[in-house]
């Protein structure tokens, strides 16, 4: 018996108007179960990132519906939407998006600060998250001075720190060499297995997709194949 965290019904998204109109997604339906790991695979420009952004409620679909924990995400607005983003999702980006000239600890603390958690609690939680990723000794370092692999681990710690139910990872190994990339993959998949955090991975790497429970292949704004690995 599995319940779905996120459901998409006939999602479509287009950019621009008239002759410049570009349909990034042309009707995608899928359901993501709690605790599973899903890979969204596709080439550049296939619409896979757009799909992820819609699922993460960072963007609004042109048509179609998204259900978060069974309720329509379109009904969420303002503070409720912000709260849902803050407490449900964690993000891992290819380009890291770490705040420059800011300590590793402060970067990890950011989501908790936004959530309005007190100074002492959030520091403890952030140190726990850094500890889990073996970065406790780097807490005071400037985030931009770290190596690529360390940066991505900081980003994962940041995604993890507010105990999200879903982590979205957009090409998490894209900027890393294969050895460090593999370490990051292991960390993400371990989090999925050990903590039961739903993982949505956007990648063009079929090998990484195969390590997930399931993968969907997106091309020209449509899901072309689905594969179940586990």
Site residues (vs another protein, CB under 8 A): 53, 56, 58-59, 78-79, 81-87, 89, 91, 93, 95, 97, 99-102, 106, 110-111, 113-116
Q: Which of 90/149 has CB closer to another protein? A: 90
Q: Which of 30/143 has CB closer to another protein? A: 143
User: Quick one: DSSP state of residue 14?
Assistant: E
Q: How far is the CB of 180 from another protein (least distance, A)?
A: 22
Residue 205 corresponds to which tokens in the numbers above? 């790497």
Closest CA to 185 of 158, 214, 164, 207: 207
Q: How far is the CB of 170 from another protein (least distance, A)?
A: 9
Beta strands in the chain (DSSP E): 4-15, 22-33, 37-42, 63-68, 71-72, 89-93, 166-170, 198-203, 214-219, 222-228
Specify the 3-state DSSP secondary structure of 78: helix
Q: How far is the CB of 226 from another protein (least distance, A)?
A: 25
Q: Which of 67/110 has CB closer to another protein? A: 110
Q: Which of 84/136 has CB closer to another protein? A: 84
| 160 sits in which H/E element | helix 148-160
Closest CA to 57 of 157, 168, 162: 168
Q: How far is the CB of 29 from another protein (least distance, A)?
A: 21
Q: How far is the CB of 163 from another protein (least distance, A)?
A: 14
Q: Which of 91/188 has CB closer to another protein? A: 91
């Amino acid at each position: 018996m599995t319940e779905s965290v996120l459901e998409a019904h006939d999602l479509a998204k287009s950019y621009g108007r008239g002759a410049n109109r570009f349909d990034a997604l042309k009707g995608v339906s899928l359901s993501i179960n709690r605790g599973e790991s899903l890979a969204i695979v596709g080439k550049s420009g296939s619409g896979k990132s757009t799909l992820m952004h819609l699922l993460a409620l960072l963007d609004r679909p042109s048509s179609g519906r998204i259900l978060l924990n069974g309720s329509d995400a379109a009904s969420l607005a303002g503070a409720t939407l912000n709260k849902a983003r803050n407490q449900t999702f964690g993000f891992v980006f290819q380009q890291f998006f770490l705040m420059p000239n800011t300590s590793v600890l402060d970067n990890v603390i950011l989501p908790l600060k936004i959530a309005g958690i007190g100074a002492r609690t959030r520091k403890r939680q952030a140190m726990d998250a850094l500890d889990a990723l073996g970065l406790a000794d780097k807490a005071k370092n400037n985030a931009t001075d770290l190596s690529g692999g360390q940066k991505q681990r900081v980003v994962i710690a940041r995604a993890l720190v507010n105990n999200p139910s879903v982590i979205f990872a957009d090409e998490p190994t894209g900027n890393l060499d294969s050895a460090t990339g593999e370490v990051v993959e292991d960390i993400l998949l371990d989090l999925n297995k050990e903590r039961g955090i739903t993982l949505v991975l956007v990648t063009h790497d079929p090998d990484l997709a195969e390590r997930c429970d399931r993968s969907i292949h997106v091309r020209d704004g449509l899901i072309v194949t689905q594969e179940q690995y586990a």
